[in-house]
Amino acid sequence: MAPLRSLGNIASIFDDFYGRTGRDAATPAPHPFTYTTTIPNAPGILTDDSPLSFNGNTTTGVTHTITFNNPVAIQFKAFGGGGGVGDSAAPDNGVGGSGGFTYATLNLTGGVTYKLFAGGHGTSGSGGNNNPIRYGGGGGAGSGIIIDTAGAQSGGGTLLAIAGGGGGGSGRQGGAGGGTTGGQGGSPWGTGGGFGGTQSAVGAGGPGGADGSSGSGTNGGDGGDNNPPFSPVFPGGTSGISGQYNGGRGNEDGGDQGGGAGGGGYYGGGGGAASSDASGGGGGSGYYNPLYSSSGSLYNGGTTEWTSDPQRSGMSGSATAGRIVINAPG
Protein backbone atom coordinates (compact mmCIF):
# COMPACT_ATOMS: atom_id res chain seq x y z
CA MET A 1 0.00 0.00 0.00
CA ALA A 2 1.45 3.36 -1.04
CA PRO A 3 2.10 5.88 1.74
CA LEU A 4 -0.38 8.77 2.19
CA ARG A 5 0.69 12.00 0.48
CA SER A 6 1.03 14.98 2.83
CA LEU A 7 -1.52 17.73 2.28
CA GLY A 8 0.74 20.29 3.98
CA ASN A 9 -0.89 23.10 5.96
CA ILE A 10 -4.59 22.41 5.51
CA ALA A 11 -5.53 25.59 7.43
CA SER A 12 -3.39 27.64 5.03
CA ILE A 13 -5.08 26.07 2.01
CA PHE A 14 -8.49 26.84 3.56
CA ASP A 15 -7.51 30.44 4.29
CA ASP A 16 -6.15 31.01 0.78
CA PHE A 17 -9.30 29.61 -0.81
CA TYR A 18 -11.73 31.66 1.27
CA GLY A 19 -9.58 34.80 1.54
CA ARG A 20 -9.72 34.92 5.32
CA THR A 21 -8.10 33.42 8.39
CA GLY A 22 -9.75 31.05 10.79
CA ARG A 23 -9.58 33.78 13.45
CA ASP A 24 -11.31 36.31 11.15
CA ALA A 25 -14.02 33.81 10.34
CA ALA A 26 -14.78 33.38 14.02
CA THR A 27 -14.73 37.11 14.87
CA PRO A 28 -18.04 39.00 14.41
CA ALA A 29 -18.02 41.99 12.07
CA PRO A 30 -17.71 45.37 13.85
CA HIS A 31 -21.01 47.00 14.79
CA PRO A 32 -21.91 49.51 12.05
CA PHE A 33 -22.90 52.22 14.56
CA THR A 34 -19.61 52.51 16.47
CA TYR A 35 -18.43 56.06 17.13
CA THR A 36 -16.12 58.29 19.11
CA THR A 37 -17.55 61.31 20.91
CA THR A 38 -16.87 63.89 23.60
CA ILE A 39 -20.29 63.29 25.18
CA PRO A 40 -19.58 61.97 28.71
CA ASN A 41 -20.28 58.32 29.51
CA ALA A 42 -21.20 57.44 25.93
CA PRO A 43 -21.07 53.66 25.32
CA GLY A 44 -19.39 53.91 21.89
CA ILE A 45 -22.12 52.04 20.00
CA LEU A 46 -25.46 53.59 19.04
CA THR A 47 -28.33 51.16 19.58
CA ASP A 48 -32.06 51.34 20.24
CA ASP A 49 -31.30 50.96 23.95
CA SER A 50 -28.50 53.52 24.13
CA PRO A 51 -29.44 56.87 22.58
CA LEU A 52 -27.15 59.86 23.08
CA SER A 53 -28.32 63.13 24.61
CA PHE A 54 -27.13 66.28 26.39
CA ASN A 55 -28.49 69.69 27.37
CA GLY A 56 -27.40 73.29 27.29
CA ASN A 57 -26.06 74.66 30.57
CA THR A 58 -28.61 77.28 31.68
CA THR A 59 -27.85 80.34 29.46
CA THR A 60 -24.68 78.83 27.98
CA GLY A 61 -24.58 76.57 24.95
CA VAL A 62 -22.82 73.20 25.23
CA THR A 63 -20.99 71.60 22.29
CA HIS A 64 -19.76 68.07 21.66
CA THR A 65 -18.30 66.26 18.67
CA ILE A 66 -19.12 62.84 17.26
CA THR A 67 -17.46 60.74 14.53
CA PHE A 68 -18.98 57.49 13.26
CA ASN A 69 -16.65 54.82 11.92
CA ASN A 70 -18.97 53.98 9.03
CA PRO A 71 -21.63 55.76 6.95
CA VAL A 72 -24.83 55.77 9.01
CA ALA A 73 -28.36 57.13 9.06
CA ILE A 74 -29.40 58.48 12.47
CA GLN A 75 -32.57 59.89 13.96
CA PHE A 76 -31.68 63.39 15.12
CA LYS A 77 -33.70 65.58 17.48
CA ALA A 78 -32.94 69.16 18.47
CA PHE A 79 -34.83 71.35 20.94
CA GLY A 80 -33.97 75.06 20.95
CA GLY A 81 -33.36 77.11 24.07
CA GLY A 82 -36.32 78.99 25.54
CA GLY A 83 -36.57 82.78 25.79
CA GLY A 84 -36.12 84.58 29.08
CA VAL A 85 -39.10 85.76 31.14
CA GLY A 86 -40.09 89.45 31.05
CA ASP A 87 -42.81 91.02 33.22
CA SER A 88 -44.26 88.23 35.34
CA ALA A 89 -47.16 90.54 36.25
CA ALA A 90 -48.27 90.76 32.60
CA PRO A 91 -51.61 89.14 31.63
CA ASP A 92 -49.77 86.18 30.07
CA ASN A 93 -46.98 86.36 32.68
CA GLY A 94 -44.51 87.67 30.11
CA VAL A 95 -43.11 84.17 29.63
CA GLY A 96 -40.34 83.47 27.17
CA GLY A 97 -41.22 81.58 24.01
CA SER A 98 -40.46 77.85 24.03
CA GLY A 99 -37.63 76.65 21.81
CA GLY A 100 -38.50 74.82 18.62
CA PHE A 101 -38.29 71.10 17.83
CA THR A 102 -36.55 69.70 14.75
CA TYR A 103 -36.68 65.99 13.92
CA ALA A 104 -34.75 64.59 10.95
CA THR A 105 -33.18 61.42 9.59
CA LEU A 106 -29.59 62.47 8.86
CA ASN A 107 -27.18 60.60 6.60
CA LEU A 108 -23.70 60.96 8.08
CA THR A 109 -20.36 60.06 6.46
CA GLY A 110 -17.97 57.70 8.20
CA GLY A 111 -14.79 59.34 9.44
CA VAL A 112 -16.23 62.87 9.36
CA THR A 113 -16.45 64.81 12.63
CA TYR A 114 -19.73 66.54 13.39
CA LYS A 115 -20.27 69.22 16.03
CA LEU A 116 -23.45 69.10 18.11
CA PHE A 117 -24.67 72.12 20.07
CA ALA A 118 -27.44 72.52 22.64
CA GLY A 119 -28.32 76.19 23.08
CA GLY A 120 -28.74 78.12 26.30
CA HIS A 121 -31.93 79.94 27.34
CA GLY A 122 -32.31 83.70 27.40
CA THR A 123 -31.63 85.64 30.59
CA SER A 124 -34.82 86.64 32.38
CA GLY A 125 -35.38 90.33 33.02
CA SER A 126 -34.85 91.36 36.63
CA GLY A 127 -33.88 94.27 38.84
CA GLY A 128 -36.16 96.81 37.18
CA ASN A 129 -36.28 100.16 39.00
CA ASN A 130 -39.61 101.34 37.61
CA ASN A 131 -43.16 100.98 38.81
CA PRO A 132 -44.44 98.78 37.30
CA ILE A 133 -41.25 96.82 36.65
CA ARG A 134 -40.27 97.20 33.00
CA TYR A 135 -37.90 94.76 31.36
CA GLY A 136 -37.54 92.33 28.45
CA GLY A 137 -35.96 88.87 28.55
CA GLY A 138 -33.14 87.69 26.30
CA GLY A 139 -33.78 85.36 23.38
CA GLY A 140 -33.02 81.63 23.44
CA ALA A 141 -30.23 80.12 21.33
CA GLY A 142 -30.63 77.50 18.64
CA SER A 143 -29.63 73.83 19.00
CA GLY A 144 -28.32 71.73 16.12
CA ILE A 145 -25.53 69.97 14.24
CA ILE A 146 -22.84 71.17 11.82
CA ILE A 147 -19.91 69.56 10.03
CA ASP A 148 -16.90 70.33 12.19
CA THR A 149 -14.70 71.74 9.43
CA ALA A 150 -11.83 74.15 10.04
CA GLY A 151 -13.21 77.31 11.58
CA ALA A 152 -16.46 75.71 12.75
CA GLN A 153 -15.95 76.92 16.30
CA SER A 154 -15.75 80.50 15.00
CA GLY A 155 -18.93 80.22 12.97
CA GLY A 156 -17.96 78.05 9.99
CA GLY A 157 -19.17 74.57 9.18
CA THR A 158 -22.09 73.30 7.07
CA LEU A 159 -25.40 73.31 8.94
CA LEU A 160 -27.24 69.98 8.84
CA ALA A 161 -30.17 70.76 11.15
CA ILE A 162 -31.24 73.28 13.79
CA ALA A 163 -34.12 74.04 16.14
CA GLY A 164 -34.75 77.76 16.70
CA GLY A 165 -34.65 79.49 20.07
CA GLY A 166 -37.70 81.15 21.63
CA GLY A 167 -38.16 84.91 21.86
CA GLY A 168 -37.78 86.74 25.15
CA GLY A 169 -40.91 87.84 26.98
CA SER A 170 -41.67 91.39 28.15
CA GLY A 171 -45.09 93.02 28.69
CA ARG A 172 -46.33 90.00 26.72
CA GLN A 173 -44.90 86.58 25.99
CA GLY A 174 -42.14 85.81 23.51
CA GLY A 175 -42.79 83.97 20.27
CA ALA A 176 -42.05 80.25 20.02
CA GLY A 177 -38.94 79.11 18.19
CA GLY A 178 -38.80 76.53 15.46
CA GLY A 179 -41.16 75.51 12.72
CA THR A 180 -40.57 76.81 9.23
CA THR A 181 -41.28 80.25 10.72
CA GLY A 182 -40.68 81.30 14.29
CA GLY A 183 -43.64 82.61 16.26
CA GLN A 184 -44.29 86.34 16.61
CA GLY A 185 -43.94 87.89 20.04
CA GLY A 186 -47.03 89.06 21.90
CA SER A 187 -47.88 92.75 22.17
CA PRO A 188 -50.16 94.82 24.43
CA TRP A 189 -51.26 96.90 21.43
CA GLY A 190 -51.35 94.03 18.96
CA THR A 191 -48.61 94.98 16.50
CA GLY A 192 -45.38 95.44 18.46
CA GLY A 193 -44.19 91.86 18.78
CA GLY A 194 -40.95 90.87 17.07
CA PHE A 195 -41.45 88.70 13.99
CA GLY A 196 -40.10 85.16 13.68
CA GLY A 197 -37.31 84.09 11.37
CA THR A 198 -38.36 82.24 8.20
CA GLN A 199 -36.72 79.86 5.71
CA SER A 200 -35.28 82.77 3.76
CA ALA A 201 -35.08 85.89 5.97
CA VAL A 202 -34.58 87.18 9.50
CA GLY A 203 -37.57 88.31 11.52
CA ALA A 204 -38.23 92.05 11.52
CA GLY A 205 -38.20 93.99 14.76
CA GLY A 206 -41.61 94.83 16.18
CA PRO A 207 -42.90 98.37 15.46
CA GLY A 208 -43.77 100.74 18.28
CA GLY A 209 -42.60 103.82 20.12
CA ALA A 210 -39.14 102.26 19.79
CA ASP A 211 -38.84 99.48 17.25
CA GLY A 212 -37.15 96.25 18.16
CA SER A 213 -34.07 95.31 16.15
CA SER A 214 -34.41 92.84 13.30
CA GLY A 215 -32.60 89.53 13.56
CA SER A 216 -29.00 89.47 12.35
CA GLY A 217 -28.31 86.41 10.20
CA THR A 218 -28.68 83.40 12.47
CA ASN A 219 -28.80 85.57 15.61
CA GLY A 220 -31.83 87.12 17.29
CA GLY A 221 -32.41 90.87 17.35
CA ASP A 222 -32.35 93.06 20.47
CA GLY A 223 -35.46 94.37 22.21
CA GLY A 224 -36.49 97.99 21.73
CA ASP A 225 -35.63 100.86 24.09
CA ASN A 226 -37.87 103.94 24.04
CA ASN A 227 -35.43 106.20 25.87
CA PRO A 228 -31.87 106.47 24.50
CA PRO A 229 -29.15 105.57 25.04
CA PHE A 230 -29.94 102.10 23.73
CA SER A 231 -28.65 99.78 26.43
CA PRO A 232 -29.86 96.15 26.32
CA VAL A 233 -28.95 94.49 29.58
CA PHE A 234 -30.37 90.95 29.57
CA PRO A 235 -28.19 88.70 27.38
CA GLY A 236 -29.56 86.05 25.10
CA GLY A 237 -28.61 82.41 25.35
CA THR A 238 -25.46 81.32 23.54
CA SER A 239 -25.21 78.35 21.18
CA GLY A 240 -21.56 77.44 21.73
CA ILE A 241 -20.82 78.27 18.07
CA SER A 242 -19.16 81.69 18.21
CA GLY A 243 -21.11 84.40 16.42
CA GLN A 244 -23.91 82.09 15.26
CA TYR A 245 -27.37 80.95 16.41
CA ASN A 246 -27.34 83.15 19.55
CA GLY A 247 -30.33 84.86 21.16
CA GLY A 248 -30.64 88.65 21.13
CA ARG A 249 -30.51 90.91 24.19
CA GLY A 250 -33.57 92.01 26.14
CA ASN A 251 -33.91 95.61 27.23
CA GLU A 252 -34.75 97.52 30.39
CA ASP A 253 -35.98 101.02 29.69
CA GLY A 254 -35.76 103.90 32.13
CA GLY A 255 -39.18 105.27 31.30
CA ASP A 256 -40.98 102.75 29.14
CA GLN A 257 -40.79 98.99 29.28
CA GLY A 258 -37.96 97.42 27.25
CA GLY A 259 -38.71 94.87 24.54
CA GLY A 260 -37.98 91.15 24.62
CA ALA A 261 -35.26 89.83 22.31
CA GLY A 262 -35.45 87.53 19.31
CA GLY A 263 -34.36 83.89 19.36
CA GLY A 264 -31.46 82.47 17.36
CA GLY A 265 -31.99 79.89 14.61
CA TYR A 266 -31.66 79.19 10.91
CA TYR A 267 -32.74 82.82 10.67
CA GLY A 268 -32.96 84.89 13.85
CA GLY A 269 -36.18 86.40 15.19
CA GLY A 270 -36.72 90.13 15.65
CA GLY A 271 -36.82 91.96 18.97
CA GLY A 272 -40.04 93.30 20.46
CA ALA A 273 -40.88 97.01 20.44
CA ALA A 274 -41.06 99.33 23.46
CA SER A 275 -43.64 101.98 24.23
CA SER A 276 -45.78 102.69 27.29
CA ASP A 277 -45.69 98.91 27.55
CA ALA A 278 -43.52 96.50 25.60
CA SER A 279 -43.67 93.41 23.43
CA GLY A 280 -42.06 89.99 23.23
CA GLY A 281 -39.40 88.96 20.75
CA GLY A 282 -39.91 86.62 17.80
CA GLY A 283 -38.64 83.05 17.64
CA GLY A 284 -35.80 81.81 15.45
CA SER A 285 -36.72 79.42 12.63
CA GLY A 286 -35.88 75.71 12.37
CA TYR A 287 -34.26 73.91 9.44
CA TYR A 288 -32.91 70.62 8.15
CA ASN A 289 -30.59 70.36 5.16
CA PRO A 290 -32.07 68.25 2.32
CA LEU A 291 -28.57 67.36 1.10
CA TYR A 292 -28.06 65.38 4.31
CA SER A 293 -31.59 64.42 5.29
CA SER A 294 -34.00 62.03 3.61
CA SER A 295 -36.91 63.19 5.77
CA GLY A 296 -37.67 65.58 8.59
CA SER A 297 -40.19 67.77 10.40
CA LEU A 298 -40.06 71.25 11.93
CA TYR A 299 -42.28 72.14 14.88
CA ASN A 300 -42.79 75.31 16.87
CA GLY A 301 -42.25 75.12 20.62
CA GLY A 302 -45.40 74.36 22.56
CA THR A 303 -47.05 72.31 19.80
CA THR A 304 -48.45 68.84 20.47
CA GLU A 305 -45.36 67.21 18.93
CA TRP A 306 -43.04 69.27 21.14
CA THR A 307 -45.11 68.73 24.28
CA SER A 308 -45.57 65.00 23.86
CA ASP A 309 -42.04 63.95 22.85
CA PRO A 310 -40.69 62.00 25.87
CA GLN A 311 -37.06 62.60 24.93
CA ARG A 312 -37.42 66.35 25.43
CA SER A 313 -37.18 65.55 29.15
CA GLY A 314 -38.56 68.87 30.34
CA MET A 315 -36.09 71.01 28.42
CA SER A 316 -36.65 73.85 25.90
CA GLY A 317 -39.46 75.64 27.73
CA SER A 318 -39.54 79.26 28.90
CA ALA A 319 -36.16 80.14 30.47
CA THR A 320 -35.01 76.52 29.96
CA ALA A 321 -31.99 75.41 27.93
CA GLY A 322 -32.10 73.37 24.72
CA ARG A 323 -31.36 69.69 24.18
CA ILE A 324 -29.85 67.29 21.59
CA VAL A 325 -30.87 63.63 21.15
CA ILE A 326 -29.41 61.03 18.74
CA ASN A 327 -31.20 57.72 18.16
CA ALA A 328 -30.39 54.64 16.10
CA PRO A 329 -32.61 54.44 12.99
CA GLY A 330 -34.81 51.73 14.52
**Residue 253 has what pLDDT?**
72
Q: Hey, where are the domains in the chain?
A: 36-330
**Residue 226 has what pLDDT?**
78
**Residue 3 has what pLDDT?**
52
Does this model's pTM top 0.85? My answer is yes
Question: Which residue stretches of the chain have pLDDT < 70?
Answer: 1-28, 127-134, 150-156, 228-231, 254-256
**Residue 189 has what pLDDT?**
86
**Residue 58 has what pLDDT?**
98
What pLDDT digit, counting tens, does each position of 187-238 carry?
Answer: 988 899 999 999 999 999 999 888 999 999 999 999 998 776 666 789 999 9
Whether 278 and 125 have beta carbons less than 8 Å apart is answered as no
